[in-house]
C-alpha cells in the first residue's frame, strides 16, 4: 500500500467493518505513510483527524478508551484534541468541533477525578 488513495480507501472502509478490522486498517494506514513533502504531511494530518473523528462518532467506547488510556499524557491528549478542533474550525465544521469539545471536557473531568 503506497498510494494516498489506498490509505483513503482504508479510512472509508471503517464504516463497514468490525472494530478489530478497523484497528488493523488504522495500523496499515499509520505505518504505510511515506513523507515526501509538506503536502504529504498535511494530507496525513487531515486523514488522521478524519479517522479519529469518525471513530469518536462511531463508538462511545472509543472515546472512553482515548480518555482513559495511559499511552498518552493528559497534556498530549488535550493538545491533540485542540489541534483537531482548530483544523475543523478552519473548515467551519462546528458540529464536529462540538463533539471534540465534549471529548476534551471528558479528558479534563477524568484527570480531575484522578486527583481526588
> Whole-angstrom Cα distance, residue 24 to residue 33?
15
Of the pLDDT bands very low, low, confident and very high (cuts 50, 70, 90), residue 45 is: confident
**For the chain, how long is the longest CA-to-CA vector?**
48
Confidence of residue 59 (pLDDT cuts 50, 70, 90): confident
Mean per-residue pLDDT of the chain:
83
CA 47 to chain centre: 9
DSSP state of 78: H
Task: Give Cα 106 distance to the centre of its chain.
Answer: 15
Mean pLDDT, range 16-33, rounded to an integer: 62
Question: b vs e for 81-113, b when ≥16 Cβ sit within 10 Å of the residue's Cβ?
Answer: beebbebbeeeeeeebbebbeebbebbeeeeee
- Residue 13: per-residue pLDDT: 60
Q: Which residues, at least 6 apart from 68, have a Cβ–Cβ distance to it below 8 Å?
A: 110
> pLDDT of 68-85, one tens digit each?
999 999 999 999 999 999
Amino acid at each position: 500500500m503506497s498510494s494516498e488513495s489506498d490509505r483513503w480507501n482504508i479510512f472509508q472502509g471503517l464504516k463497514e467493518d468490525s472494530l478489530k478490522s478497523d484497528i488493523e486498517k488504522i495500523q496499515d494506514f499509520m505505518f504505510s505513510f511515506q513523507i515526501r513533502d509538506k503536502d504529504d504531511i498535511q494530507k496525513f494530518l487531515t486523514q488522521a483527524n478524519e479517522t479519529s473523528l469518525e471513530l469518536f462518532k462511531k463508538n462511545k467506547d472509543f472515546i472512553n478508551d482515548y480518555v482513559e488510556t495511559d499511552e498518552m499524557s493528559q497534556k498530549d491528549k488535550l493538545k491533540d484534541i485542540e489541534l483537531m478542533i482548530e483544523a475543523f474550525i478552519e473548515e467551519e465544521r462546528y458540529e464536529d468541533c462540538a463533539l471534540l469539545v465534549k471529548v476534551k471536557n471528558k479528558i479534563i473531568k477524568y484527570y480531575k477525578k484522578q486527583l481526588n
